[in-house]
Structure formats: structure tokens, C-alpha cells
Amino acid sequence: MDDRPAPLARGRQPRSALAKTVCLEVSSLEAFETALRQYLDEPPAQPEHTEAQLSFWIGTTFPSLAADAAAHARLSIVDALQPTPDPKLKMARQRAIAKCCVDAIQRIDGYRYSFHNCWNSREDDSFRFSYYCNDSLLNKDRAANGKGAKLGKRATKPVYDCKGVLSVKFSATKQALDVFYKHLPIHKTYEERAPPPRKDAKRRKCLPATGPDAVAQPAPPSQPADASHEPDVARPRKKKSTATPQPPRPSNTSLESDLRAQSLRSLLELIQTDPTPPEPGPPDPPPPPPPPPPPPPHPQHSFIPSSLPLQHAPAPPRRRPRNSCDVCKAKKTKCDGGRPVCNTCADKKRQCFYSEPLGGEDPFVHHAHQPHQPHQPHQPHQPRQPLQAPPTRELTEYEKMKRELEEAKARIQELEQEKRASTTPIPTPQMAPDPQSQPQPPPRPQTHPRRQDSHAQAQALPQQQQQHQHQQQQQQQQQQQQQQQQQQQQQQQQQQ
């Protein structure tokens, strides 16, 4: 005789010997909520081995969420159990009733449940639905709990052995609907786990803080006809709309402005370490810096290439006018462009300022072309730089540093153009002097032409070496400036 135990049915676990079931009869959805609330208020002695079975009356009706909701506003259990030629229609009706039951349970106990499985029971000729608690160990394979994550990474949220399972079972043979509830309250509810709202948050301002039972859905704006039934919800909105005047600028953004100013100062210090003299600022323009000295052997040929690129260099593209303020642009938030303070900064209670005038022209774009003027002595327009600032208000420290930064960038572009001009090949006829212009010795004037050529080449070698050394110095300076500019851009990206 075989002593092995009889095999269990496929997919079923052995029932615990301590398992208990509390049966409750309800006749409506409201009675279902009341009975479940009483069960949770008076938990059993062994909740880990106990589950509640709530059996509905066969004539109970539920709000219809199916596609044919226009025909009937409510759906009864009898209609859901009726056989249909299309089994999908029967499943859709029963699933809509199961969803109503799960929503009612979520409002009562405060936890969230997600759909797990649906199958057709042959013995009951109906469908059964199961839902797992989102924080349960049974639901550990879902995406929010780390399903499919890369190796070496932890799950995004913890799970608990709360045994949270909801089972909704329809039976056409018994003409019944049973809802089985089992959950151990060993973790926080959905509202308790939610982070506290910010001070400037617009959600849950008019909801009383009485626990999970006070969770309410905000009324959609597309239902103005229900305003008479919800007068308490409309009043806080009016108070909120009238209580949004232009607030005073708080001091909580002073730290951010100080960090931004400090970063700009460090960038300017890196730029000012360049051996080339910096460009003057607009408030007190000093005399323009002298142009870089040309190579001494060929002054007429070294000055021409340095001036040609300045005349034919393409102007930088004009910036497109923008309406957002500098604070919204730095935080990458939507801005309506209101002046003097936009609505976004007013709601967030932070400082708002614009670095561009109302016309949309950036004053710093015009300053970017000013460093080219000291190299052209025939343009006496350098003293007009202080007029570039907007006449409506004084320049702040942030705008001054930003303007100096733009001027330094323009100076770097100018040095790049000079480097390109210096590296272009230029014919130098002085490097091959005419043998007739050289003084010929009287003894044998025409017997040694090769000696004269070698003498001319020996004189041209120091000139070529000087030009080569000058080009190498310019290249080194340019590389240093490019490295400094890259460091500045990286610092700006890290600060943003």
C-alpha cells in the first residue's frame, strides 16, 4: 500500500487547519461598506488565519461602467449572471461589478489593490477575479516593486507579508456573488505613506485631515451644473483666486541668487587670468586696450590679415525674443512672461527679474560686437557703451557680471579670428631678395651667384623663426582660452 499523500488539485494550496471564515450578508453596496467597516473596527483574534466573506443579495444593483451604460444607469447581479452569446460581454459586466466592490474596499481600509487574475469557473459557469495589495509580498513581481530592474539595483519600494488578497466570485449555478477580504494592517495606508504636500501646493487644501476616510476626488471643471450640490468646494476656490495678489518677494531664494553670483564671479576670474587685457565694463569705460603688436620684420603684411577677418567676419545670429523670466528659464518651468512679476513666480513666492527689455532685444547681444571696435580706429563709437543698458532700471550685479561674461566670450571669438588670419599663407617677397639689390664685391661680381643666394637665405631664416614662434604663442594662448571656456560651461551646467 502506498503511504504517499494524495496529490492536490493543480494550482491550489492546502487549506490551513486554523483557517476561519466570517460570513456577512449584505443587500446593497452601502450595506457592504457598513459591514466591512464594522469588521475592520472589531478585528478577529487571529487575523492571519481569518478572512471575511461578504455575500450579496441577488437583486443588488451597482453603478454601470460598461459600454452599454446609456441603456441602464445601474447593473444588477442577475443581469451579470445571465448567459450571453458572447462570453466577453458577460465577463465585462461581471468585471464592472467587481471593480465597484474593490473601489468601495479601497475607500474603507485605505489600501490600494491591483488586478491580478481572471478566470472562468466551469463549475459555477461564471468568472472569478482576484486583486492583490500593491504593498504585499504576493505582488512583488510588478514593475513598481522592481520587476525587470537591472542587476545590482534594489527595489524601488518595500513589500510586506500582509497577505492582502481580494477575491470576487460569481456563481450562476448558485445565483450568488461572494467577496472574500483578507488583509493584515502591518504597513501604512496609501494616504499615510504619501509625502506631505508643499507649502505652495494646490492639492488637498480644502480637504479635512480626518484620515483615509477623508480622501475625496476633486470635482472636474466640466460639471458646472453640480455647483448647487457642492457649495463648500466652490467657496475655497473663490478665496484662493482672490487671495493671489502680487506677493512680496521672500528671502528663500537669496541663497540661490548668491550661488549664481558666486559662480559668475569664479568664471570671470578664470577669464581675467588670460594674458590679454580684458575688455572694459559698461559702467566706467576705461581707455580701450591696445591691439596685439604685429611681428617686427613685416609690419605691413601682418596688419592686413588681422584687419581683414574683422571686416568680413560673419556677425553672430540675433537671438530670438523670449517672454520667460530668468528664474523660470533657470528652473525650466513654464512662464507666462508677465511683467514686472510673472504669475509662476508669484505663485511660488520667489524673486522674478528679466535680463531683456520688453521689446525682445537682448542688450548683451550688442555688447558681444563691441570688442572689435578697438582694432578699427576710424570708428569713434566706443563711449556710447553705457547707453546699451535698459533705461527703466539700474543694472543689478547679476546683469553686470553677465555682461562682462558676454564681452569675454566675444574677446575669445576675436582671438580665434586673429589666429585663423595669422595661420593663412601670405606671399612674402622680402624673403627672396633680388641679387641685384645686394652690394656686389668688386673683385668678381658675377662668378659666385650661389654664395649670394645662400647669404640671402641666411638673413631670411631669423625672420621665419620669429614668425613661427609668434604663431606657436598664439596657438598656446588659444588652447588655454578654449580650456577655460570648457571649464566655465561645465561649471554652469553643474550649477543649473
pLDDT in tens, 188-212: 888 887 777 777 666 555 555 554 4
pLDDT at 123: 86
The one-letter amino acid code at 362 reads D
Pick the CATH number of 322-355 from 3.90.650.10, 1.10.3720.10, 3.30.1490.20, 4.10.240.10: 4.10.240.10
Predicted pLDDT at 377:
46
Q: How far apart are CA 445 and CA 162, in angstroms?
A: 114
Backbone angles phi, psi at 295, to 5 degrees: -60, 140
Higher pLDDT among residues 267 and 227, named by residue: 267
% pLDDT > 70, the chain? 53
- Is the model more confident about 367 or about 356? 356
Give alpha helix (H) positions in 12-130. 29-41, 77-81, 87-109
Full DSSP string of 193-262:
HSPPPPTT--SSSSS--SSGGG--PPPPTT-GGGGGT-HHHHHHHHHHHHT---PPP-STTHHHHHHHHH
305 has a pLDDT exceeding 50: no
Supply the DSSP symbol for 297. S
Going by the DSSP 8-state scheme, the letter that residue 444 receives in this structure is -
Q: Write out pLDDT tens, residues 79-133.
A: 889 988 888 999 999 999 999 999 999 999 999 999 999 999 888 889 999 999 9
Q: Measured between alpha carbons, how far is residue 129 from residues 20, 167, 173, 262, 373 in Å? A: 21, 6, 17, 61, 80
Q: Please give the mean pLDDT across all residues of the chain.
A: 70
- List, edge to edge, every strand of the sheet that includes 50-56: 20-26, 50-56, 176-182, 165-171, 126-133, 113-121
Is the distance from CB of 247 to CB of 349 less than 8 angstroms?
Answer: yes
CA 163 to chain centre: 38
What pLDDT sits at residue 252? Answer: 46
Report the pLDDT averaged over residues 221-244: 47
* Bridge pairing between strands 113-121 and 74-76: unpaired
182 backbone dihedrals φ, ψ, rounded to 5°: -150, 120
Least confident of 13-22, 49-58, 62-71: 62-71
Q: Is 74 helix (H, G, I), strand (E, B) or coil?
A: strand
Alpha-carbon span 57 to 88, nearest angstrom: 24
Whether the predicted pLDDT of 135 surpasses 70: yes
For residue 133, give the nearest of 96, 169, 162 by alpha carbon.
162
The amino acid sitting at 289 is: P
Strands 20-26 and 74-76: unpaired
Angle (deg, nearest 10), helices 29-41 and 87-109:
40
The length of the chain is 496
Which CATH code fits 20-146+158-196?
A: 3.40.1000
- Regarding pTM above 0.85, the answer is no
- pLDDT above 70 (res 222): no
Residue 496 has pLDDT above 60, yes or no: yes
3 state DSSP class of 455? helix
| DSSP-derived 3-state class of residue 478 | helix
Q: pLDDT band for 386, please (50, 70, 90 cuts).
A: very low
Q: How far apart are CA 378 and CA 372, in angstroms?
A: 12
Banded pLDDT at 375 (limits 50, 70, 90): very low
List the chain domain ranges: 20-146+158-196, 322-355
Question: Residue 66: what pLDDT?
Answer: 52
291-321 burial, b if ≥16 CB within 10 A, otherwise e? ebebbebbeeebeebbeebeeebeeeeeeee
Three-state DSSP at 467 gives helix
| Whole-angstrom distance, CA of residue 345 vs CA of residue 328 | 8
Pairing of β 126-133 and β 20-26: unpaired
Sign of the Cα torsion 164, 170, 174, 179 reads positive
Dihedral of alpha carbons 249, 254, 255, 259, sign: positive
| The predicted structure's pLDDT at residue 26 | 92
